[in-house]
Amino acid sequence: RRGDRAYDPEEVTGFAFGFGLDRLAMNLGHIPDIRMLVENDLRFLKQF
Amino acid sequence: MYISVNWLRDFVDWTGSSSELDDLFTCAGVKVEDIQEKGAEFPSIVVAQILESGRHPNADRLSVCQVDDGSGQPRQIVCGAKNYRVGDKVPLALPGAILPGGLKIKVGKLRGAESEGMLCSSKELGLADDAEGLLILPKEAPVGKPLSQVYPKDTVFELEITPNRPDWLSHLGLAREVAAFSARRLHPANIEVPGISKADDGIVSVQATDLCPFYSLRRIRDVKVAPSPQWLSDRLTAAGLRPINNIVDITNYVMLELGQPLHAFDAGKVHGGIVVRHARPGEDFPALDGNKYQLSAGDLAIADSDAPIALAGVMGGEESGVTDSTTDVLLESAYFEPASVRRSARLHSLHSESSYRFERGVDPSVVLVASARATRLIEEIAGGRGDEKVTTAGALPAPPGAVILRLSRCRMLLGANLSAKEIRDALVRLGLAPMAENEDSVEWKIPSHRRDLAREADLIEEVARVIGIEKIPSRIAASPARPGEADAVYDFRSAVREQLRALGLSEARTSTLVSEKLLWGNAAPWRLRNPVGEDQAFLRTSLLPGLIAALQRNIRHGARSIALYEVGRTFHQEESEERETLAMTLHGETVSRNWRGGEVRGFDWHDAKGIVEVLAPVPLSCVREQGDSYLALSAAVFAGEKRVAMLGQLAPGFARALDATKPVIVAELSLDTLRMLQRTPTFHDIPKFPQVVRDIAVVCPISLPYGDIERELWKANEVLLAKVEAFDVYTDPSGKILPTDRKSIAISLTFRARERTLESQEVNAACERLKQQLKAGLAVDFR
């Protein structure tokens, strides 16, 4: 109806959600500082 | 935003506990950051006034005071503090009182003088962590009355209000939500709006009607500017604002109460009528915060006949502000276009409680109500008389349009079989009113403060929010999905990561957005139009710079063996594509020192090549190439015609800058290309007949690549040849056995025939043929 190729909400329904995988990993791994996930220190990497 | 629960109770019959209110807010979608309990009951502690104070006859440090405790009889108290004056009002703990620390107050003698109670500091009352001397109470504190009247028990919630609910930026707005979610009664603010008189150009003229659709001004005469009464400044302080004077405080109070920002001008400082216009570029504006601003043409100015007196919706001017000498007040209450206020606030980096609310959209139906409320408060608190009518210009934005909700769609999207009554009740609780109804759908009138409800989906979300998402029953509604291309890519990526982990490398994750100095090589990068900072301004064209930075960090921490890989996306402007890339870096000892002894080998180029061979199990060939400037050695790896990988070694100067003491090996591959090379293995018959191995030693110039020799051997098309493998390289720097410019490569040649055992002569002949091929093609010798 709008004239573009987007899904028509009358035809298609679904879920959209964003998950912070970093924070989930921090929770599971009891990692205290989010920066550790991008510093790539081997002393950290080797624990996982 | 800070709200006071006592203040909230002006509008809603909330009697629950703080933790119940915390839960209610959280379920309603209001984020609670902090809860602070303030004040207390203070049983048996009253306000007392010091009538007399004299030296204690037996103690230098003490005084004997006579205080008025409201009973008519003066009371004698011995006191050690020095910070008070006769006439001050202070807290008096009567005999029988128990202080927060546990101290019981009783009548007694201190150094021979009777003391019938105790005068308190804020620390002793538990109101502060530290105190110097007695707590001096405000002048209006009522003598003899309980201290809890001066410091009433209250709870202050610190809330984070999401941008989609500007109606929550006031106590009334939040009270509405509390009423809706707790089924308590809401007392609407019953404020009478006075008659409206249309502006004549003498009083108000709006020239920029696009940025200011509606403006109102009320004149209040003969006010007495003074500090605000205790209850008012207490509420402002609880909400995080500083009390200034009664007029300004009232404008802030009404803003926090109803959500409509107001501004008061000193009428005596406004020359001529008020004009709401675009600012002239460069126009000077000295603001209330003490700074001078240069306005731009995009700014909306509230001006008098001379100059701007306010930056609309953001901040008032210094010269027209209300001071002690003000007698007449002009009270502004308007609807400013949100985008315009946001622009001005951003441009001048000037943000206020007022701009915050205008940016998000105020409720047009409150504009005149707030003006009336503030006028009434000013009349009550500062004296003064408001003019009979409020002058207005323009028109308020139209009320929000009605929205139709289909019951069937609501049930379908929420996945809950809600009754028509449940759905209806949920929306009625939020202030919506049903208008027209038929079989499946209801047309809803949207209240003025919920302009965020624009379509059916918004209403369905509200139904879910009011009823409670946790009340929607869970069920499994799944069906198997066919694996697609995305799954194949994902599975391959996981497999590669597993393989590399098993080979002993560690997985690193580096940033996709990089600074300019992490862009190596000549590939043109994509630059962000609005980067968060210069160190995140570009999309990376390669994984290597980030990995090398990680390598450097690990070297600095003393790591002796570093093997890192990363699987991630790189972005290529010229080909306009995102590429799934794999990169690795190796440096240092291959294994750590161990008791088996021997020299520990360092990572070299061949280790990387070996890893690539594991990942790409097809015949590969390497070709030297001229790499980017940071590489001393660079080779391209091909599987047939397809380029699979780049292998390289960092230039020594570069590596030294990283504090790398051994060679730094790098490799980068395209994951897509790698995936295309994967083959399901097919079975080949295991040879029934034994193989024969012959070793040859090829002497050739040092510069001759081994690859040439191997290629030449295969070129011979020797049917019996099965495998070629170099197993030793020998050079002689002394020149005695071999010339210094030659090397000797020991190669083992494996021969076999499918259908029979080979005869010795056949193998010898084949070997000779191969040697001839090498001699002819490459001019080598044998030994």
- List pLDDT tens digits, range B647-660: 999 999 999 999 99
Question: Whole-angstrom Cα distance, residue B750 to residue B657?
Answer: 46
Read off φ and ψ for residue B768, nearest 5 degrees: -60, -45
Residue B65 and residue B76 in contact, taking contact as beta carbons nearer than 8 Å: yes
Instruction: Classify burial at B148, counting beta carbons within 10 Å of its beta carbon; exposed 0-12, middle 13-18, buried 19 or more.
Output: middle
Lowest-confidence pick of B292-296, B298-302, B580-584, B709-713: B709-713
Cβ-defined contact of B506 to A42 (cutoff 8 Å): yes
Residue to substitute from A40, A47, A48, interface B, most B β-carbons within 10 A? A40
Nearest beta carbon to residue A42 from set B412, B547, B562: B562
Q: Which residue of B has its CA nearest to A15?
A: B413
Residue B769 and residue B718 in contact, taking contact as beta carbons nearer than 8 Å: yes
Choice between B57 and B583, residue whose per-residue pLDDT is larger: B583
Token pair recorded at residue B591: 């294994």
pLDDT at B739 over 80: yes
DSSP 3-state percent helix, strand, coil across chain B (nearest 5): 30, 30, 45
Token pair recorded at residue B466: 């009011």
Residues 6+ apart with CB under 8 A from B737: none
B469 touches chain A (CB under 8 A): no
Mean pLDDT of the region A22-48: 89
Mean pLDDT of the region B96-122: 88
Residue B409 and residue B456 in contact, taking contact as beta carbons nearer than 8 Å: yes
Residue B720 DSSP code = T
- Bridge partners (DSSP) of residue B567 are B582
Mean pLDDT of the region B346-350: 93
Question: Whole-angstrom Cα distance, residue B366 to residue B379?
Answer: 20
Neighbouring C-beta atoms of residue B575, cutoff 10 Å: 9
Lowest-confidence pick of B70-74, B222-226, B661-665: B70-74
Residue B113 and residue B64 in contact, taking contact as beta carbons nearer than 8 Å: yes
Cβ-defined contact of A39 to B553 (cutoff 8 Å): yes
Mean pLDDT of the region B755-769: 90
Q: Which residue of A has its CA nearest to B457?
A: A9
| Residue B514, pLDDT score | 93
Q: What pTM, to 2 d.p., does this model score?
A: 0.68
Mean pLDDT of the region B475-481: 80
pLDDT at B149 over 90: no
B511 touches chain A (CB under 8 A): yes
Cβ-defined contact of B509 to A37 (cutoff 8 Å): yes
Nearest CA of chain B to the CA of A39: how many Å?
Answer: 7
| Residue B482, pLDDT score | 87
Residue B543 DSSP code = S
Q: For chain A, list residues whose CB is within 8 angstroms of any CB belonging to chain B.
A: 9, 13, 37-43, 45-46
pLDDT at B778 over 80: yes
Confidence of residue B705 (pLDDT cuts 50, 70, 90): confident
Q: What pLDDT, in 10s, does the model give residues B32-81?
A: 999 998 877 788 899 999 999 998 888 888 999 999 998 888 999 999 88
B457 touches chain A (CB under 8 A): yes
Mean pLDDT of the region B720-744: 90
Cite the DSSP H helix spans in B349-446: 353-360, 367-382, 407-414, 420-429
Question: Whole-angstrom Cα distance, residue B719 to residue B728?
Answer: 25
pLDDT at B286 over 70: yes
Sign of the CA dihedral with A20 first, then A22, A28, and A30 last:
negative
| Residue B199, pLDDT score | 67
Question: Whole-angstrom Cα distance, residue B61 to residue B110?
Answer: 12
Cite the DSSP H helix spans in A1-48: 21-29, 36-39, 42-45
Using alpha carbons, select from B290, B376, B288, B297 the residue that is nearest to residue B343: B297
Task: For B314-345, give the DSSP string.
Answer: TEEBSTTS--TT---EEEEEEE--HHHHHHHH
Instruction: Classify burial at A3, counting beta carbons within 10 Å of its beta carbon; exposed 0-12, middle 13-18, buried 19 or more.
Output: exposed
Q: Which residue of B has its CA nearest to A13?
A: B413
Mean pLDDT of the region B722-747: 90
Residues 6+ apart with CB under 8 A from B328: B219, B220, B221, B222, B223, B266, B267, B268
Nearest CA of chain B to the CA of A11: how many Å?
Answer: 12
The greatest distance separating any two alpha carbons of chain B, rounded to the nearest whole angstrom, comes to 135
Choice between B503 and A2, residue whose per-residue pLDDT is larger: B503
Q: What 3-state DSSP class applies to B45?
A: strand
Please give the distance of CA B715 from its chain centroid, rounded to a whole number. Answer: 63
Cβ-defined contact of A40 to B509 (cutoff 8 Å): yes
Nearest beta carbon to residue A42 from set B509, B547, B559: B559
Mean pLDDT of the region B586-602: 87
Share of chain B above pLDDT 70, in %: 99
Q: What 3-state DSSP class applies to B76?
A: strand
pLDDT at B377 over 90: yes
Interface size between A and B, measured as CB pairs under 8 A: 33
Token pair recorded at residue B148: 């809890």
Lowest-confidence pick of B64-68, B184-188, B230-234, B670-674: B184-188
Q: Dihedral angle at the C-alpha atoms of B446, B448, B453, B456, nearest 10 degrees?
A: 20
Question: Whole-angstrom Cα distance, residue B495 to residue B482?
Answer: 20
Instruction: Classify burial at B587, counting beta carbons within 10 Å of its beta carbon; exposed 0-12, middle 13-18, buried 19 or more.
Output: buried
Lowest-confidence pick of A6-20, B259-273, B450-464, B508-522: A6-20
pLDDT at B127 over 90: no
pLDDT at B477 over 80: no
Question: Whole-angstrom Cα distance, residue B665 to residue B647?
Answer: 8
| Residue B421, pLDDT score | 94
Cβ-defined contact of A41 to B553 (cutoff 8 Å): yes
pLDDT at B181 over 70: yes
Residue B302 and residue B314 in contact, taking contact as beta carbons nearer than 8 Å: no
Nearest CA of chain B to the CA of A13: how many Å?
Answer: 8
Confidence of residue B162 (pLDDT cuts 50, 70, 90): very high
Residue B56 and residue B83 in contact, taking contact as beta carbons nearer than 8 Å: no
Cβ-defined contact of B550 to A13 (cutoff 8 Å): no
In the block, tokens 């450097």 appear at B552
Lowest-confidence pick of B5-14, B38-47, B105-114, B547-556: B38-47
Mean pLDDT of the region B312-334: 95
Instruction: Spell out which residues of chain A touch residue B506, defining contact as CB-CB under 8 Å.
Output: 42, 45-46
Nearest CA of chain A to the CA of B554: how many Å?
Answer: 6
Choice between B210 and B598, residue whose per-residue pLDDT is larger: B210
ipTM of the complex: 0.75
Mean pLDDT of the region B257-265: 96
Confidence of residue B475 (pLDDT cuts 50, 70, 90): confident
| Residue A1, pLDDT score | 63
Nearest CA of chain B to the CA of A45: how many Å?
Answer: 6
Task: For B484-520, give the DSSP string.
Answer: -HHHHHHHHHHHHHHHHHHTT-EE----SEE-GGG--
Using alpha carbons, select from B199, B193, B201 the residue that is nearest to residue B217: B199
- Bridge partners (DSSP) of residue B569 are B580
Q: What pLDDT, in 10s, does the model give residues B669-690?
A: 999 999 999 888 777 777 788 9
Instruction: Spell out which residues of chain A touch residue B509, defining contact as CB-CB under 8 Å.
Output: 37-38, 40
* C-alpha distances out from residue B49 to B38, B85, B143, Å: 24, 10, 7
Q: What 3-state DSSP class applies to B610?
A: helix
Question: Whole-angstrom Cα distance, residue B80 to residue B628?
Answer: 81
In the block, tokens 């990089």 appear at B514
Lowest-confidence pick of A2-6, B458-462, B613-617: A2-6
Strands B390-394 and B196-198: parallel
Nearest CA of chain A to the CA of B446: how many Å?
Answer: 23
B498 touches chain A (CB under 8 A): no
Residue B29's Cβ-side half-sphere holds a number of Cα atoms within 13 Å equal to 15
Q: What is the mean pLDDT of chain B?
A: 91
In the block, tokens 């004296």 appear at B383
| Residue B59, pLDDT score | 87
